Structure 1
Amino acid sequence: MAARTQQLAAALLFILGGVLSFPLSEDTQQTATCGYESCHATKSNMLNVHLVPHTHDDVGWLKTVDQYFYGDLNDIQHAGVQYILDSVVDQLLKNPDRRFIYVETAFFYRWWRQQSSSMQQTVKQLVNEGRLEFVNGGWCMSDEATTHYSAVIDQMTMGLRFLNETFGACGRPRVAWHIDPFGHAREHASMFAQMGYDGFFFGRLDYQDRTRRMIEKEQELLWRASDSLTPPMADLFTGILPNGYNPPEGFCWDQSCDDPPIRDDPDLEDYNVDDVVMRFIAAAKNQALVYKTNHIIMTMGSDFQYENANLWYKNLDKLIRYVNVLQTNGSKINVLYSTPSCYLQELHRANLTWALKTDDFFPYADDSHDLWTGYFTSRPALKRYERISNSNLQTCNQLEVLGGPASTKGPFGEGDSDTMKKAMAVAQHHDAVSGTEKQHVANDYAKRLAKGWQHCQVLVSNSLAALSGSTAERIYCDNLNISVCPLTESSKKFSVNVYNPLVRPVTWPVRLPVNGSAYAVSDANGKSVDCKVVPVSSVTRDVRKNRGSAVNELVFQVQAPPLGYSTYSVSLLQDGPPPASTKHRTPTAIQNKYLQVTFDPDTGLLSSLSNLETKQTVKLTQNFYWYNASDGNNSHSNQPSGAYIFRPNSSTPFIISKTAKTETVQTSVVQEVRQWFSPWASQVVRLYADSRALELEWTIGPIPIDDDLGKEVITRLDTSIETSEIFYTDSNGREVLQRKKDFRPTWRLRQSEPIAGNYYPINSRAFIKDDVDQLTVVTDRSQGGGSINNGSLEIMLHRRLLYDDVRGVGEPLNETSHIFPKGLVVRGRLLLSLERPPAAADTHRKLAQEVVLQPLLTFTNGELHPNTKLEFSGLQAALPPAVHLLTLSQWDKDLVLLRLEHQFQSWESKVNSQPVTVNLQKLFSTLEVLGASELNLSANQWKDDMTRYEWMAQTGADPLPKNSEASAAWEVTLKPMEIRTFLLRVSLR
């Protein structure tokens, strides 16, 4: 295998520069015995107990990433990752039988860079011999409920690339390992399968599900993680670990543990070998009762353990020796050092059939009143900032490629995308974007994202200068959502550059804070653009405080070409008083050529939504409510709501107000009904002239806590749609899953929390439908939601809680800041569309994509240079609606990583759920594609080299033979939900 890899790398050297060739020498490659070949022998006639020494190192949680690495602030938590890796390497060298697995590349990368060359060679030898094995291998162990698939793929690619380039084939993990995330998404399993993993292990699942699986011996299963990809493309063997990720009770030998060591001197009074061995054998036999084979796995480690690895290994060595010596007396227990991949190999050799699963593992509960569904919404401001940062990073990556070498070293200095990539990768951790970290750690994640964006801004400015020919300074206004931009507030003439990261043209509304009362706007061709000035709302003025002074907003719609930009010129025509005051009565209706929205004049609330093209109307009322959070003083359970757990103290939410005060703005560009429900809850119902979606811009906070009760604030949409208690959510922004009230597909649910137990993660969209109507809600961040009543959809927007939920974070989710000392104010958007069910996917996929990857606005002051190129597209032509450009990123000097994605499921659209073919050589306008080779999804293996274990399911279709369709060299065909990854050699035209 190693020789074939070497030959392949050499063959690809001419095409691709050999970037993915393994960096080990040929001699080392031939002697490497890593992976499955390095596994210790097992015994077929015995119960084999696979001991897996491991540490679980959170990439931020109670301490920041830096504090965890260096071992700082041990008064919060004793943890120092650098010492763990130092100690483990030292102990592995003392006994060749010992094994250790490591997971989080973000930490290992830091440690590796601090080592001497001789230590690096020592570690490489340990990796080559399979004594130190990487599992999972992403930059972090990502959350699965609140992450977007594009960001997950990016962070996995970053971590796996480092391992690949540092250790070659022996650094490639065979197993995905998500032992701590709080529930598991189907899309994650699909991604792991497409990344080439042979199996997946996790520790947390619903306590009722686990009980059933233990009885039926279904704790190991085959997860069919896509209803569109042909099996086994998205099939993933999945194992549920027996003790979460901790050792069996009584067998923890870390400095943080209290269990007694093995005292094996028979002359000592406290000799305990016999007791330890008997207790261990009993634990092993009990565990074996709920698994199918004569192999079981035990995770020997936990959070930040092995800082003094000698404690663990000295006792594990003894445990193995003293248990196995009993085999001479007829014992059938065989204990060995192992890894997850070695354990997986034995399960595969068993050649059994496995239970099939096609749904996901949400929501997660660890007891009857303890539903981990609050974190779907926790820290909504951080969740939004992470999503914006992802959009900015994709734009940064694209412009680094399109602008060429001048992007990183240009007129504005040296810029880079790496800082932002690492910040975004860390933010995917299951205690980052999830919102389950301490406040100072959340602040650190946000600071990292802000620093990354500063580096990217230099790169973007350089790239746009190269593409446009203008070196005028570019201004970035990151607070437009609260109407703050010093340039537009003061300048009499400026330009707006609108960069579109999507591969089809977009029409996008622009709202700029201004102090004039009349402006002229012209597009790249000099054509006048309809624009209007509207007053800044009082709510926006309150939220922005003293950060801006604009009294008005200039509103117009822009059009941007695919993978390119368009430039708009803005000139002040009239200074002076603001435009005519708004109307304070509620309109009967607002409408454009696509939608009509009606209001109840007595309450000021929405009353219906109509699609004028399809001639359909649904009754629609929308309002804001809150659930009082449990404080833990309850007869059923002492569990309070907290960062992780959602536990309302009643199934009936409190309405904030039955009526809304309104103010109306009606222009040819935009129509708005501004609604005030209370001093801390307001909304703008907004309809742009050319939009097929209704926008609801909500502003919540500071949530009052004068009554000493935490509140969980929702918006609820009640409609005339007959849903039969069914609704639909996306999985990590990709495939759609059906949800049914008080129901789980794989076990009979005993529902004890009727609200929290029916909440699911919504990453980008959710919808309700019947045979006639489908109402889709597109979100601008990950949020929790449910359909508690027939025809209803509720989404949690903001949470403020006064008690810790006793899951480790140790502080209540009570966010404040120096700007909002009385409680955090959060603003966001929901987009509503109404369609006929068969055609609805065409609309909501497009809307969700535009929200996830929104245009980037940059500004220049004064007149543009006459020779400035005002419009540019990086594509020769727009791509079909079914095709999404997921990744365009610089890989090396003249190498580019490209991912093309089919964004429809096989059943979604009559038009767009068909295969689509793209020609790579006819893709880009400024890049000539000289060579291409296909990789797996995580870009750490050539696609042709990716071989995976195949597994047999007890039910369902057997895996089909691999597709061997031939196509022209440059023609790439995408089937529904397929992502194809390529490394391209390019040159600038």
Structure 2
Amino acid sequence: MAAVSLPLAALLPLLCGVLGFPLGQETGPTSCHATKPNLLNVHLVPHTHDDVGWLKTVDQYYYGDRNDIQHAGVQYILDSVVDQLLKNPDRRFIYVETAFFYRWWKRQSADVRRTVRRLVDEGRLEFVNGGWCMSDEATTHYSAVIDQMTMGLRFLNDTFGPCGRPRVAWHIDPFGHAREHASMFAQMGYDGFFFGRLDYQDRSRRRIAREQELLWRASDSLTPPMADLFTGILPNGYNPPEGFCWDQSCDDPPIRDDPDLEDYNVDDVVKRFLAIANTQAKVYKTNHIIMTMGSDFQYENANLWYKNLDKLIRYVNGRQANGSRVHALYSTPSCYLQELHRANLTWALKTDDFFPYADDAHDLWTGYFTSRPALKRYERISNGNLQTCNQLEVLGGPISRNGPFGKGDSQTMKKAMAVAQHHDAVSGTEKQHVADDYARRLAGGWLRCQVLVSNSLAALSGSTAERIYCDKLNVSVCPLTESSSKFSVNVYNPLARPVSWPVRLPVNGTSYKVSDAEGRSVDCQVVPLSAATRAVRRNRGFAVNELVFQARAPPLGFTTYSVSLLRDGPPAASTRRRTPTAIQNKFLRVTFDPDTGLLSGLSNLETKQTIKLTQNFYWYNASDGNNSKSDQPSGAYIFRPNSSTPFVISRTAKTETVQTSVLQEVRQWFSPWVSQVVRLHGDSRALELEWTVGPLPIDDDLGKEVITRLDSSIQTAEYFYTDSNGREILQRKKDFRPTWILRQSEPVAGNYYPINSRAFIKDEVDQLTVVTDRSQGGSSIQNGSLEIMLHRRLLYDDVRGVAEPLNETSALFPEGLVVRGRLLLSLDRPPTAADAHRPLAQQAVLQPTLTFTDGDGRWSPCLQFSGLQAALPPAVHLLTLTQWDEDSVLLRLEHQFQSRESKENSRPVTVNLQKLFSTLEILGASELNLSANQWKDEMKRFHWTPQTDEKPLLKRSGDPSSWEVTLRPMEIRTFLLRVDLR
């Protein structure tokens, strides 16, 4: 294919200089200090861990505001470190969070920038990880992680060139580690990965076996070593060894090295250091060990650290003359990794993940999989909004950013979403005022994107009519549709395949006519608004009914529907106060127990499958810390029920039924604070469960953790399956870990795993899949069951630093937060289930964007548009389409099936880049790595040898022709396209 030729300093294959970081694999960083082959080399890594929001907002952390909450000011850390690095060329420092560094850099003078560039070129200041933040690994979706990593790494590339490119991934604080993250890091070109937290039992075993450094094979589908990642577990989390913290926040004594003074302590310090180093060396494989010298928001006064580290290195190495076998040096993770690579050893192989994480027998960090469910949902919606914004910025051209509706931009939303991926953001483990700040940033980003989307749709449709956005449709609030007798609905589909999507609009009329873009009448129905929706919307709307119809939108495009009130039309559908025996469409049949009002069975009419299936809501009482086994309470991080048996909220449900040709609903009430709609649309292959939970009662002074549980006739044999960050599926087994023998002490919390987009149970005949609309925790505690945690309200802090209970309220819900969400259920044969649940999960993540205009909109020149010449094959997902600069765009194409997962869709697929888009002419294309900070053919990584008898692997064959791109199962390919609007 024709290569892109662009003046991007970030991507030029240049060397950093004699003291910098060559791009070649063999030499590695030449700025590393010399080590001694016959001694124990202790790599001291000065670092700071700067949370992009946690106890304080990201702004408060940067400026050093609200020090009454936590003394921390990132701008002062960077000021101080740069100053101290200049005083001694031996010193080193690593920095991680680009969100903070970007802010600091913008405010520096030209002289300071030149100085920092020199420090980076010389390897004295090294960037590691390099994403906008250090993302959470349990509750993040892979698409959002890739986006935030790309943003941070692009800034480093544009600012520092190849010398600023991180070689090491660094996740020292996230609370468990996902296999998909390791796979992504490998595909981004990292040579290795270091983290600090893993289960205490796993760590104990690895210490004995000397397997704290390993090779992580992070994909069952990608050909090794494409997703292989060397992984190191740090010895002290990310803190310094005990007694060796010399920050202003620490209490350890400084090195007092004046022998004339009474409190001289050099001998004691050196003796303690040598003892710690030799003890640590016994649990690692080589004569190189690493020590993290820093912690949370340290180095605000870097002189304290560096003055003592200078002395420590001098006095420890001075003992070599007396026979000491320990050599201490300033180092970085890249330098340390280089030495491990030079050792040329074989390494233990790992193929599962590091979930769940526990730091003690009763301290399982599995509560945050669900904590702050409303924020988790808002983050997921915002991800879809951002992809729509990115796509329409490309498809609409320059007018999208500056058009009839003003100046719009996607950057505000990109930064807000990037910050939201932080491991104390979407995870739900921050203080309440910080969670509010994350939500505020997302809302501000979407407002700027709405201007861009309006401009783009105006350019593509030829209509400059004002577009209205209704952001509260989930609670049936939209002022335009509630009051207008004639309006149009524009449905934009961000997926590269056509979709059928149920539209539900709040209205006050009883009969409407809906016409599609061709002027054809669309089957629609008006149904009465449920009492649950009226209760949860409070005073935010006044609609009494909902208009429901099925919209069909073209791939990567929009269609327009015209809606008109009929004065003499048929009445709205009515509700019946009885439980039906069944509801069904041409694909599914759902049965109910008439005595209890609960689900009783599910049938797939196409495959002639039927299973027994009951569903109900339960809660676990949260431990308050007062029992004989442990004083650990449930909190934002930790899930610890005080009993293994949950309490059923109600054994029966009051019901009312709506049955029409468009949809069928069974509305269930379990209690004043739990309700649900079981919904089956006319042409849907999935059953929708729309749940509303809250406010959780706390009159009994006990926190509650609410779940829904599906109990089926499927014979699971204690196995169940969850996704990893929305991509590959991992097998789970109750009370079992694949690489170590588990001593289970928390039979519920110890079996919870993150569910980012879907989970399923299966046997040889049936597979029941549940697609979620946000990240949630879940498990299979009983054979044939699948439970998902929906909401948490807790009255105690779990003593992990956040220092407040997870007890969410708001101005609208002062009595406690109410949360609404939906689960999608599908029943299929195991060999073909992925053909249904993978597209269903993608559609749940990338939902259509609805915009409204007053009037019928029939005069618009273009009522329907697709940005593609043809829909992509079912196996191919258009992951990224975003503007890169004025005449180039970034494109990612993804094979969304695992190998052997589908008979039809697990095959390689070839796509022609020049035949993709309808509005863009592709003039040139070059392939990049996953994070778009290296040309693919220049990406070189260290090769690591696993402890297996593997045969040499064949290299990937080339593409069929210059413009045709072949995708193999689970492969993501990234391209920089030079384009021209047609």
TM-score, scaled relative to structure 1: 0.98
| Distance in 2, Cα, partners of 1:844 & 1:441 | 35
Residue number among 179, 203, 221 corresponding to 1:210 in the alignment: 203
Give the drift of 1:865: 5.5
Report matched runs for 1:724-763 at 5 Å: 724-763=717-756
Residue number among 8, 17, 23 corresponding to 1:19 in the alignment: 8
State which drifts further: 859-868 or 721-730.
859-868
| Distance in 1, Cα, partners of 2:373 & 2:952 | 41
| Distance in 2, Cα, partners of 1:824 & 1:562 | 37
| Distance in 1, Cα, partners of 2:180 & 2:917 | 30
Report matched runs for 1:447-466 at 5 Å: 447-466=440-459
1:41 corresponds to: 34
1:616 corresponds to: 609
Residue number among 185, 193, 217 corresponding to 1:192 in the alignment: 185
Distance 1:757 1:958, change over 3 A: farther
Residue number among 905, 910, 918 corresponding to 2:903 in the alignment: 910
Matched, 1:925 2:918: yes
Residue number among 303, 307, 311 corresponding to 1:314 in the alignment: 307
SS at match of 1:15: coil
Residue number among 479, 490, 494 corresponding to 1:501 in the alignment: 494
Give the drift of 1:908: 0.6
Report matched runs for 1:826-865 at 5 Å: 826-864=819-857
Report matched runs for 1:496-895 at 5 Å: 496-574=489-567, 579-864=572-857, 866-895=859-888
2:432 corresponds to: 439
Contact 2:19–2:123, Cα closer than 8 Å, also in 1: no
1:441-475 Cα shifts (integer Å, max 9, x gaps): 00000000000000000000000000000000000
Give the drift of 1:257: 0.3
| Distance in 2, Cα, partners of 1:412 & 1:956 | 63
| Distance in 2, Cα, partners of 1:502 & 1:409 | 25
Distance 1:83 1:577, change over 3 A: farther
| Distance in 2, Cα, partners of 1:576 & 1:967 | 58
Amino acid at match of 2:263: D
| Distance in 1, Cα, partners of 2:973 & 2:21 | 31
1:758-806 Cα shifts (integer Å, max 9, x gaps): 0000000000000000000000000000000000000000000000000
Amino acid at match of 2:468: I
Structure 1 residue runs of 5 or longer lacking an equivalent are: 1-10
Distance 1:729 1:580, change over 3 A: closer
Contact 2:394–2:883, Cα closer than 8 Å, also in 1: yes
1:48-73 Cα shifts (integer Å, max 9, x gaps): 00000000000000000000000000
| Distance in 1, Cα, partners of 2:959 & 2:508 | 61
Matched, 1:970 2:959: no
Distance 1:174 1:619, change over 3 A: same
Amino acid at match of 1:547: R
| Distance in 2, Cα, partners of 1:424 & 1:27 | 33
Contact 2:11–2:933, Cα closer than 8 Å, also in 1: no
1:146-191 Cα shifts (integer Å, max 9, x gaps): 0000000000000000000000000000000000000000000000
Contact 2:527–2:546, Cα closer than 8 Å, also in 1: yes
Contact 2:526–2:573, Cα closer than 8 Å, also in 1: no
Report matched runs for 1:931-942 at 5 Å: 931-942=924-935
Give the drift of 1:973: 0.1
Give the drift of 1:736: 0.1
| Distance in 2, Cα, partners of 1:447 & 1:471 | 29
Amino acid at match of 1:943: K
Matched, 1:947 2:953: no
SS at match of 2:349: strand
| Distance in 2, Cα, partners of 1:374 & 1:324 | 46
2:469 corresponds to: 476
Give the drift of 1:963: 1.8
TM-score, scaled relative to structure 2: 0.98
| Distance in 2, Cα, partners of 1:608 & 1:710 | 32
| Distance in 1, Cα, partners of 2:952 & 2:756 | 30
Give the drift of 1:746: 0.4
Give the drift of 1:20: 4.8
| Distance in 2, Cα, partners of 1:457 & 1:254 | 46
Give the drift of 1:866: 2.2
Structure 2 residue runs of 5 or longer lacking an equivalent are: 23-27
1:202-256 Cα shifts (integer Å, max 9, x gaps): 0000000000000000000000000000000000000000000000000000000
| Distance in 2, Cα, partners of 1:983 & 1:740 | 42
The share of aligned pairs that are identical, in percent, is 83
Amino acid at match of 2:711: D
Give the drift of 1:863: 3.3
Give the drift of 1:846: 1.0
| Distance in 2, Cα, partners of 1:987 & 1:647 | 57
SS at match of 1:473: coil
Matched, 1:81 2:74: yes
Contact 1:516–1:578, Cα closer than 8 Å, also in 2: no
Matched, 1:347 2:336: no
Give the drift of 1:580: 4.9
Contact 1:535–1:578, Cα closer than 8 Å, also in 2: no
1:100-144 Cα shifts (integer Å, max 9, x gaps): 000000000000000001100000000000000000000000000
1:4 corresponds to: none
1:7 corresponds to: none
Give the drift of 1:17: 1.8
2:383 corresponds to: 390
Contact 1:212–1:747, Cα closer than 8 Å, also in 2: yes
Amino acid at match of 2:6: G
| Distance in 1, Cα, partners of 2:688 & 2:287 | 57
1:377-398 Cα shifts (integer Å, max 9, x gaps): 0000000000000000000000
Give the drift of 1:868: 2.2
1:145 corresponds to: 138
Amino acid at match of 2:631: N
1:695-737 Cα shifts (integer Å, max 9, x gaps): 0000000000000000000000000000000000000000000
| Distance in 2, Cα, partners of 1:889 & 1:450 | 20
| Distance in 1, Cα, partners of 2:134 & 2:288 | 26
1:302-358 Cα shifts (integer Å, max 9, x gaps): 000000000000000000000001111111100000000100000000000000000
1:6 corresponds to: none
| Distance in 2, Cα, partners of 1:423 & 1:823 | 26
Distance 1:971 1:698, change over 3 A: same
Matched, 1:180 2:169: no
| Distance in 2, Cα, partners of 1:680 & 1:27 | 63
SS at match of 1:318: helix
Amino acid at match of 1:88: V
Give the drift of 1:575: 8.0
Contact 1:23–1:167, Cα closer than 8 Å, also in 2: no
Residue number among 88, 96, 99 corresponding to 1:103 in the alignment: 96
SS at match of 2:4: helix
Give the drift of 1:961: 4.1
| Distance in 1, Cα, partners of 2:519 & 2:120 | 62
| Distance in 1, Cα, partners of 2:561 & 2:262 | 86
SS at match of 2:538: helix
Contact 1:374–1:643, Cα closer than 8 Å, also in 2: yes
Aligned residues: 977
Give the drift of 1:579: 2.6
SS at match of 1:16: coil
Distance 1:660 1:956, change over 3 A: farther
| Distance in 2, Cα, partners of 1:32 & 1:513 | 61
| Distance in 2, Cα, partners of 1:511 & 1:956 | 58
SS at match of 1:547: coil
SS at match of 1:38: coil
Contact 1:16–1:983, Cα closer than 8 Å, also in 2: no
Amino acid at match of 1:759: Y
| Distance in 2, Cα, partners of 1:811 & 1:21 | 43
1:335 corresponds to: 328
1:8 corresponds to: none
